[in-house]
Structure 1
Amino acid sequence: MSSHYHGHSALGRIVNEIEETAIAIILGLMTLITFVNVVLRYGFNTGFIWGLEAVTILFAWLVLFGISYAVKVTAHLGVDAVTNLVPSNVRRAMTVIAAICCIAYAALLMKGAWDYWANFANLPQTTGRWLPTGFEEMSRTSYRSWYEVVDIRMPEWLRFIEPMINEGEHYEKLPRFIPYVILPFGAALLLFRFIQAGIRIWTGAQQSLIVSHEAEDAVEDVAHLNRED
């Protein structure tokens, strides 16, 4: 991958490593769990009862990591038919406006993601309709950390969280706040990537939020194959 897409700051390099490592691990785990479950089901008439739920959660994590990663490599599809018709200075202004809109959207998404996840983590939601203005006061009736997933059993090595998050109560299944943590984390990654892209557009280091032209590339590939024939 071209170094054009990689952040030069220490934070940028750390985020790169997190995204790429997480995506590789998630893909590997999804493939392994699915393969083993198929072998067990058709070969031994058994299987992991938690397999489908685990793969579903991993797929959700993959999507949320992939959204921010695609912003980094400018792989999101977009329509530039209009912007290509206007002068370069107008095109740049439109691109800056688009970047600002994306940053605003990611900020709203992060607020909503935090508020949703906080329900399951015994943490306060933010106040304010659009922008966070503070945190709500919590009572014991607000705690939702006892919510569990359907099939995935609680790993023994995570029992240490029970006194801290569930008042010492025993979990039978994995608490939901663990898989749901990807919501605020993924939204934070997306916000970071849009801010990073916005800065690059403002400084002239990047011309657009999108580079991918999937349809045009596919037509060109077919034409190339026809020429070879």
Structure 2
Amino acid sequence: MSGHYRAETVLGQFVNELEETFIAIILGLMTIITFINVVLRYGFNTGLIWGLEMTSFLFAWLVLFGVSYAVKVTAHLGVDAVINVVPPNVRRVLVLTSVAVCVAYAALLMKGAWDYWANFANLPQTTGRWFPTGLEEMKRTSYRGWYEVVDIPFPEWLRWIQPIMNEGEDYEKIPRFIPYAMLPFGVALLLFRFIQAGVRIWRGQADSLIVSHEAEDAVDDVAHMNRGD
């Protein structure tokens, strides 16, 4: 049931399409870049210098998208030895408690993700040790938008950001705030998915955050078919 989840709201449908489209694009780009690099390396003794770094960033983006996507389709692994032996009302309380913990954890990650990205995006970090209590005061000397990646060259069509982020100075490589922007975006998506899952569980449309035994049952069915049972 969880693997065939369909969003009921316009926002949910938009996020679904965005998530699945980006996952497909990222997988395609990783495959193309890696294939081209293999051909260039073994066929022409050369290669894309920036290929490894690009695929590393793309893989990191894929992981961040994948974490939230797995929450959506209830594909995360977990231990259900306890909740399967307690009464349904107790199980519901335990599941909702786990949702609350996951939402709080994602909120903590959101603060850390923003603060880390802001370090490279000329934006203020948050104040507060655990949860944001405000924004720090930024000074011109604390701007860090000039940090660049190692190998990926800066495309000409992005030169318009130089006066905004680098005081008009030329970038040689893409600034780090561009690939690192996926960190707060991905964590925000995860937070959204946990809240969404909590609403579904509260409404009785789902009963768990972790993968069900449907896959295990399907494997057993195939095994029985192969044995001719």
Same fold (TM over 0.5): yes
Q: How many Å separate the matches in 1 of 2:202 and 2:183?
A: 28
* Structure 2 letter corresponding to 1:178: I
Is 1:187–2:182 an aligned residue pair?
no
The DSSP-based 3-state class of the residue aligned with 1:169 is coil
Matches within 5 A, 1:64-213: 64-213=64-213
What's the offset of the Cα at 1:3? 8.6
Cα distance per residue 1:133-156 (max 9 Å; x no partner): 110001122111111000000011
What's the offset of the Cα at 1:226? 4.0
The DSSP-based 3-state class of the residue aligned with 2:77 is coil
What's the offset of the Cα at 1:223? 2.6
* Structure 2 letter corresponding to 1:155: P
- In the alignment, is the contact (CA less than 8 A) between 2:3 and 2:73 conserved in 1? no
The DSSP-based 3-state class of the residue aligned with 1:151 is strand
Provide the aligned C-alpha RMSD in A: 1.9
TM-score normalised by structure 2 residue count: 0.95
Cα distance per residue 1:106-156 (max 9 Å; x no partner): 111001000000000000000111111110001122111111000000011
Cα distance per residue 1:13-66 (max 9 Å; x no partner): 110011000000000000000001000000011110000000000000000001
What's the offset of the Cα at 1:182? 0.4
TM-score normalised by structure 1 residue count: 0.95
The DSSP-based 3-state class of the residue aligned with 1:199 is helix
Q: Percentage identity across aligned positions? A: 76
Q: How many Å separate the matches in 1 of 2:109 and 2:162?
A: 29
What's the offset of the Cα at 1:224? 2.9
What's the offset of the Cα at 1:217? 5.1
Paired position in structure 2 for 1:227: 227
- In the alignment, is the contact (CA less than 8 A) between 2:120 and 2:177 conserved in 1? yes
The DSSP-based 3-state class of the residue aligned with 1:99 is helix
* Structure 1 letter corresponding to 2:147: Y
Following TM superposition, where does structure 1 have runs of at least 4 consecutive aligned residues deviating by more than 2 angstroms? 1-4, 211-219, 221-226
Q: How many Å separate the matches in 1 of 2:214 and 2:178?
A: 36
- In the alignment, is the contact (CA less than 8 A) between 1:76 and 1:212 conserved in 2? no
- In the alignment, is the contact (CA less than 8 A) between 2:145 and 2:177 conserved in 1? yes
Summarize the Cα distance change of 1:55–1:212 in structure 2 as closer, same or farther, 3 Å threshold. farther
The alignment of Structure 1 onto Structure 2 pairs a total of residues equal to 229
Cα distance per residue 1:143-170 (max 9 Å; x no partner): 1111100000001111110011111110
* Structure 1 letter corresponding to 2:64: L
Is 1:29–2:29 an aligned residue pair?
yes
Q: Which runs of 5+ in 1 are unaligned?
A: none
